[in-house]
Amino acid sequence: MKAFFKKLLTVACTSCLCALAPELAARDISLPKYSWDSKLGSFHTNTYADNAGIQNDPLTEILSVSAVDVWGRIRSGFGIPALDNNLVNVHERYYAKRGEYFQRTTKRAERYLFHIVQECERRGMPTELALLPFIESSFNPHAHSPAKAEGLWQFIPSTGKQYSLSQNTFQDKRRDIIASTDAALTYLQRLYDMFGDWHLALSSYNWGEGNVMRATRKAEAAGREISFNGIFPYMPAETRNYVPKLLAVKNLVARPNLYGIHLPDIENQPYFVKIGKTKDIDVAVAAKLAEMPLDDFKALNPQYRYVIPGGNSVHILLPKDKARRFQRNLLGWSRPLSSWTSYQVTDARERIEDIAQKLGVSPDAIRQANNIPYRKALKFGSTILVPRTASFNKDIAPGVLDNAYIAYAADYKPTPPPVEEQPSVDETVDLRPSSRMKPVDILKEQPKYNVESPARRASWTSAAAAPKSNAAFTATKKPDVVVVRKADNRKKQENTWKKPDNTQKGTDKRKGHEKDYSRSTDTRHSRHDTRATNKVESKPMKGHQSVKAAPQKSDHRTVPQKGSADNRHKAAAPQAKQSAVKMVTYAKGGHSAPAPAKAPAKKDVAKNRKR
């Protein structure tokens, strides 16, 4: 009984859907005209495509209406086999945890996905490739990599030139939505024909076909299979994660509900249309005529920087609803459309300053518009972008857009780059103690290092010097460097230190003859500081008169000979106290710091004893 009612309910539902099918199909105006013709099988799942008789079923058409959007077309065209690699699961969890990033990137992709999917279907290529810009650039046409790759598909300069993507001051076709998509799919098809495996083809797109070929030879020599997992140990980390990332995004697009991902609705119809133009027009003016924000206009036309040159082969992309507004506003525009033009160097070498003077513009404006570095001149044949002036008012020459180039040469009269205006000061006074000064070397307390000392020497007040130092000068917080202005009445400091007279002779009591210490082989003795000749008084004994000891002119101890009577008592002359120290005067008004003399080394004393 239950089976009978279940079958009856199924028949009733089918009848209702069949009755509503023509009306629903007529109401749906978002479907393209070719969606119901012989190409309908490309939008169906593989199960429906394999059964020819099911295409005429009205229920199939109703299911196709809900499935035929850009995401449905991508799912129906999957053709890259799954990869047995743990990194796929790792990246699935990574993207699933970052739903906002995934949704933001797919939202940005709605401008380009319809065109890319349509090109993949036209070439018979797997539609997973339409998701490749998700990995390459996050669907950002202005993306720039450290390897100088540009655009949605991240072409490096050499590969871009190989596929006719010109790069100059006027345009960079690596960012062109239509041209770069065509070049990328052509390149991927060539790589697939080379390896016969989409995993290896994608690895070559990221790493280079030469590197993948060498990796396959290494894997073959090691007895490994020629596949992605076979060459996995020989690939860099970026390439190891490249294919698993794409397959992880594919799995999320295939089953978004399973991973908790929400995909934005993307209509199954073109987002933009091409508009041909024949006159030069600034990018900002074109965006204004289309009544679009400048960023939205550049998102569809990222290959142009400042001006869109005229020509029959030049086109711009605009949303369908903005195209009519652009044409209507262009007819009523009375002001100049472009403020830029081209200039070609005709001399063997021409400086930017000479070109700017000839045109009556700023040299920095020319350098900035063309990314010309300082201390560089332009060689013959270089074509640059310059502001349009009254004396130089002409359109960009035909053929410049694809053939322009810039060649640099060393500037024979270089102009230094502009620097920030330096403060008008005469000197910088360093308040930090010298690195040679140690606490043990300072015999007296040094003055506190604050702003008052240098200001006083420069005949300035601390209040006048404080704004120059950008610091709060208090007793607890002292600056490292203070900037002061030199006064006119500042006297030059004189070096008061004099060379010591070391020619004085000492008396050797043991032998009764004089010994000249000035002839010591150690030259450091001649550079000692001046020493005081202090008199040492001995305490008088009882019954004897007090006798003053002879002045000691040398700080070396006298050692008696062996066997002498004085050997029982070691005569040790006390060292003289330092009464004067060498004053090191720093240049430009620095603080004077004492630098005490070094004591003679033990080896030097021993040499003097032998003499």
What residues form DSSP beta bridges with 342? 385
Q: Which of 61, 92, 128, 136 is catalytic?
A: 136
Q: Using alpha carbons only, what angle is made at residue 590 by residues 586 and 592, rounded to the nearest 5 degrees?
A: 70
User: Tokens 């990869």 appear where?
Assistant: 83
Q: At what angle do helices 209-221 and 177-195 cross, to 10 degrees?
A: 20
Q: What stretches of 403-489 adopt beta strand conformation (E)? A: 408-410, 427-430, 481-484
The H-or-E segment that residue 91 falls in is: helix 86-97
Distance of alpha carbon 588 from alpha carbon 567, whole angstroms: 56
Structure tokens at 44: 């169906």
Helices (H), 361-475: 363-370, 400-403, 452-457, 462-469
Cβ pair 424, 441 in contact under 8 A: no
Give just the sign of the alpha carbon dihedral 264, 267, 269, 273.
Answer: negative
Our answer to whether residue 514 is catalytic in this structure is no
Backbone angles phi, psi at 508, to 5 degrees: -95, 110
Q: Write the CA distances from 263 to 69, 247, 259, 458, integer angstroms.
A: 12, 17, 11, 72
Per the listing, tokens 């003077």 go with: 357
The three-state secondary structure class of 93 is helix
Beta bridge partners, 515, equal: 506
In terms of Cα–Cα distance, which of 604, 452, 588 is closest to 517?
A: 604
User: What is the rounded distance in angstroms from the CA atom of residue 388 to the CA atom of residue 281?
Assistant: 12
Q: What's the CA gap between 451 and 461, in Å, rounded?
A: 9
Q: Which helix (H) or strand (E) holds 383?
A: strand 383-387
The single-letter code of the amino acid at 111 is R
Residues recognised as catalytic: 136
